[in-house]
A = this chain, B = another copy of it.
């Protein structure tokens, strides 16, 4: 399921924030998925500059503190912005509506994307960790 990428990425970062240098296998066992999936998403988080690894040391560390990592940073890191509200890519140019639908929907979806991104930008990994701790305490 492609769209669990954001939730898996946040899960990975929450684990690494709590216990640096966890191996992909240990992370995979908490997420309950294949280590390959964890390595792929960790790779995206690393390329986005949110995770760092060091030669000879297993696993990852965060590159900044949790309050400096917004959910928008994570969302962009896993390339979800390219998937959500995707527009079908080759409508018929010989049909008036087919020819203009992509540009029209691009304009229409812009404000929807913007509203969503503003909200993602207002939350940080620290907020998630605090909510996690609260839920763990209330168990």
- The answer to whether B7 touches A100 (Cβ under 8 A) is no
**From DSSP, what is the main secondary structure of chain A's interface residues?**
helix
The reply to whether the CB of A52 lies closer than 8 angstroms to some CB of chain B is no
- Which residues of the other chain, B, contact A36 by a CB distance below 8 angstroms? none
Contacts A4-B86, A7-B88, A135-B103 hold; do A31 and B98 have CB atoms under 8 A apart? yes
Stretch at the interface among A43-51, A61-69, A114-122: A114-122
- Which residues of the other chain, B, contact A135 by a CB distance below 8 angstroms? 100, 103-104
| A98: contacting residue among B30, B85, B101, B116, CB under 8 A | B30
- Complex CA distance for A15 and B119, rounded to whole angstroms: 33
Copy number in this complex? 2
- Complex CA distance for A87 and B4, rounded to whole angstroms: 5
Identity of the chain B residue whose Cβ is nearest the Cβ of A107 in the assembled complex: B131
- The answer to whether A100 touches B132 (Cβ under 8 A) is yes
Show 30 residue pairs from A and B whose CB-CB distance is below 8 angstroms, ordered by the A residue. Answer: A1-B88, A3-B3, A3-B84, A3-B85, A3-B86, A4-B89, A8-B88, A10-B101, A11-B98, A14-B101, A15-B97, A18-B97, A31-B88, A31-B92, A32-B90, A32-B98, A33-B88, A71-B108, A96-B136, A100-B135, A100-B139, A101-B132, A104-B128, A104-B131, A104-B132, A107-B131, A108-B131, A111-B119, A111-B123, A115-B115
